[in-house]
């Protein structure tokens, strides 16, 4: 399990943030603007929260019990 301190460090790392933004922009360009999206291995659901809008229905599943909840 990754400590909260390490996680905070990862999410504030400029290189990690840049990669996350690039992934979001790629997904947003290439996924349909309307419809359903299922993210398998969604981790904590950050991408789903970003892609969620009034026309998209998003759901995520992850086998890691730490992230097991309805997104």
Per-residue pLDDT of the chain (71 residues; tens, 9 = 90+): 444 554 455 566 788 788 888 888 898 889 888 899 888 888 878 888 888 877 889 888 888 766 655 55
Domain range enclosing 47 = 4-67
How many domains are contained in the chain?
Answer: 1
* Number of other residues whose CB lies within 10 A of the CB of residue 60: 21
pTM reported for the whole predicted model = 0.59
Name the residue among 61, 57, 59 with its Cα closest to residue 36. Answer: 57
Phi, psi of 36 (to 5 degrees): -110, 140
pLDDT, position 45:
82
Residues 6+ apart with CB under 8 A from 35: 55, 56, 57
pLDDT, position 8:
54
Please state, in angstroms and rounded to a whole number, the distance separating the CA atoms of residues 55 and 34.
5
């Amino acid at each position: 399990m990754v400590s909260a301190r390490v996680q905070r460090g990862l999410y504030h790392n400029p290189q990690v943030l840049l990669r996350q933004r690039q992934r979001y922009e790629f997904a947003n360009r290439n996924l349909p603007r309307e419809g359903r999206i299922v993210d398998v291995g969604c981790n904590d659901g950050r991408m789903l929260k970003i892609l969620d809008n009034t026309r998209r229905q998003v759901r995520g599943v992850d086998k890691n019990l730490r992230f097991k909840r309805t997104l």
